[in-house]
Amino acid sequence: MTVVRINRRTVERGGLAAASGLLAGFTALAVGELVAALVRPQAGPVTVVGGAAIDRTPAWLKDFAIRTFGESDKLVLQLGILATIGVLAALLGVFALRYRRTGAAGVLAFGVVGAAAALTRPDAAGAGDALPSMLGAVAGAAVLYLLVGFLTAAPAAPVATGDGAGEPAEEPTGWNRRGFLIGAGVTAVAATGAGALGRTLTGRSGQGATASRAAVTLPAPASPAADIPSRAVLRIPGLSAFTTPNKDFYRVDTALVVPKVDPDTWRLRIHGKGVTRPRTYTLQELLERPLIERDITLTCVSNEVGGPYVGSARWLGVRLADLLGEAGVKPPSRGGRADQLVARSVDGMTLGSPVEDVMDGRDALLALGMNGEPLPFDHGFPVRMVVPGLYGYVSACKWIQDIELTTFDAYDPYWVKRKWARKAPIKTQARIDTPKPFAQAAGGTVTVAGVAWAQHRGIQRVEVRVDDGPWQEAELAEQATTDTWRQWSFPWKTTPGGHNLTVRATDGTGQVQTEQRARTIPDGASGWHSVFVTAT
């Protein structure tokens, strides 16, 4: 019979065992990051487990995460993974107090999980990707085994109980606190050093990538963008800039580590159904072609009514239809065999666009430049797709490396496998940028202003309604192109009290924006944007 005596020393020993587990976990991750820095930064244990988690997240949860955490969703995920690993590691530590070998083997088991995640990532580069998780786990297991050894160092004299031999000692009398503290201290310092070294090495390779991006010179466009008419740009405090600066441009993707592609070894392959002349291009070959420059507004399907995932930039790139034409591709309306273009990125993302749309004369681009500089890493360096009128998830592949012509019947890309629509033209939307929701507005006349977009159809009209009053025409800035958003303003003659301001747009075809509320899944949110404002 075992009587567990709960006394201070038992509690202390348990606490130190939990700490051993935490240190083992920390060591595993730190060594994992160091090995990843040498193998491939994308193969780090937290990155691969996080990536696997993102891919397995159900659509509703992903939507919730984007809604709740916005662009911090990835940080929240990584903190969640770290917290989970921490809890499991501490439990494993306590468990190892009794079952030292099994506890250490448990750490190895986590390593196997990490290695499996690494090898099944769509961008896995080979067996080497398993190394960070495996070597990290070996280091972690060794730490746990050693540290727990101090806590069980001097077992109590065999306890003579009636149950016979083999029963674990319930409380070693002379365990080695001093040894433990030294061992734990050395481990903590060594693991921190390994992690810091890993970070430094990854940072250094990042600097190399930054330098090679800076070395890319963008040629002047053969077909420059039309000047933005001065009357297309309103200067109203709180209103979105007509051209979104790169640093403020929204970012939506599944990459926990932003790919830093080497422009010298980058290739783009075009192949598949109906491709009579498959080809592979280097970046230099693309840069030497006649480039077009266009202002195009990009929107994410995950953007809520009134949401922030929309931005407008001046893109410089190769007309996609030209490349496809050279490859022998014909759109379905001219007898082409492929109706879906699947773009694949270096991080294994797949996005599918209708071949008809990218070849119908619109300015579908393989973009190389964004607002006068090479694409930022976050936005797809060295090359990405941009197709006016289609949501990003069905067109705007960043870090693109492969274009395959296929059919919608034959292949479902990433987001379609996750319940989003196969085809997703951008829905007409108008947004009130100022005043902000729940603002206290001054009395008198207040300028209400915002943007409206219906890419490739254009915006014909914007109307504002105060409470349940009549719809009133907003003043429209000039339309730059049908592929860009349009700014608008409305002089609101306030009356004191709380008011609901609502906006709606009419697209270039005369369709009034629907009032019907729809969620973002499966093909984009709809409904009118309103803000509640109190006037004094």
Ligand X SMILES: Nc1nc2c(c(=O)[nH]1)N[C@H]1C(S)=C(S)[C@@H](COP(=O)(O)O)O[C@H]1N2
Among Mo ion, ligand X, none, what does residue 250 contact (CB within 5–8 Å per kind)?
A: ligand X
Query: Of 57-65, 75-83, 249-257, 444-452, which segment contacts ligand X by CB under 6 A?
Result: 249-257
Q: Which of 95, 145, 399, 528 binds ligand X (CB under 6 A)?
A: 399
287 binds ligand X (CB under 6 A): no
Tell me the sheet residues that pair with 459. Answer: 507
DSSP 209-274: HHHHHHTPPPPPPSBPPPPPPGGG----TTSPPSSPPGGGS----S-SS-----TTT-EEEEEETT
CB of 440: closest distance to ligand X in angstroms?
33
Alpha-carbon distance values, 284 to 148, 172, 373, 382, 397 (Å) = 58, 70, 16, 11, 20
Closest CA to 147 of 19, 57, 339: 19
Which residues are within 8 A (CB) of 414 and not within 5 positions of it... i.e. 6 or more apart? 254, 349, 350, 351
Report the residue number, 344 or 461, with the smaller CB distance to ligand X.
Answer: 344
Q: Is 394 in the site for ligand X (CB under 6 A)?
A: no
Among 81, 329, 397, 416, which residue sits at the site for ligand X (rule: CB under 6 A)? 397
If the CB atoms of residues 455 and 502 are measured against ligand X, the closer one turns out to be 455
Q: In whole angstroms, how close is the CB of 304 to Mo ion at the nearest point?
A: 12
Radius of gyration over every alpha carbon of the chain, rounded to an integer in angstroms: 29
Three-class SS state of 372: coil
Nearest distance from residue 333's CB to ligand X, in Å? 26
393 binds Mo ion (CB under 5 A): yes
Residue 354: CB minimum distance to ligand X, A? 16
d(CA 240, CA 432) in angstroms, rounded, equals 10
**What secondary structure letter does DSSP report for 465?**
E
Q: Interface with ligand X includes 506 (CB under 6 A)?
A: no
Q: Which residue is nearest to ligand X (CB)?
A: 392
Contact characters 247-266, Mo ion, x per CB under 5 A: -----x--------------
Q: Are 241 and 314 in contact (CB under 8 A)?
A: no
Among positions 352-391, residues that touch ligand X (CB under 6 A) are: 379
Is the Cβ–Cβ distance between 383 and 375 less than 8 Å? yes
SS (HEC) of 188-202: HHHHHHHHHHHHHHH
The reply to whether 481 sits near ligand X by the rule CB under 6 A is no
Q: Provide the minimum distance between the beta carbon of 462 and ligand X in the complex, in angstroms, as a whole number.
A: 24
CB of 499 to ligand X, least distance (A): 33
CB closer to ligand X out of 252 and 338: 252
What is the Cβ-side half-sphere exposure of residue 437, based on CA atoms within 13 angstroms? 6
**Contact with Mo ion (CB under 5 A) among 144, 268, 300, 477:** 300
**Binders of Mo ion: how many residues, by CB under 5 A?**
5
Q: How far is the CB of 345 from ligand X (least distance, A)?
A: 3
User: Does 130 engage in binding with ligand X (CB under 6 A)?
Assistant: no
Q: Which residues, listed in sequence order, are joined to residue 374 by a DSSP beta bridge?
A: 369
Taking CB under 5 A as the binding criterion, the range among 109-117, 162-170, 186-194, 245-253 that sits at the site for Mo ion is: 245-253
Taking alpha carbons only, the member of 424, 275, 278, 280 closest to residue 337 is 275
Which of residues 392 and 527 has its CB atom nearest to ligand X in the complex? 392
Q: Does 50 bind Mo ion (CB under 5 A)?
A: no
CA–CA separation, 289 vs 268, rounded Å?
14
Q: What phi and psi, each to the nearest 5 degrees, are found at residue 515?
A: -80, -20
> For Mo ion, which residue has the nearest CB?
300
Separation in Å, CA 2 to CA 148, 160, 164, 168, 170:
21, 11, 12, 10, 7
Q: Which of residues 178-197 bind Mo ion (CB under 5 A)?
A: none
* Minimal distance, residue 379 CB to ligand X, in Å: 4
Contact (Cβ atoms closer than 8 angstroms) between residue 172 and residue 226: no
Minimum Å gap between C-beta 310 and Mo ion is 10
Residues of the shown chain interacting with ligand X in the complex, contacts defined by CB under 6 A: 249-254, 298, 300, 345, 347, 349, 379, 392-393, 396-399
Chain residues binding Mo ion by CB under 5 A are 252, 300-301, 392-393
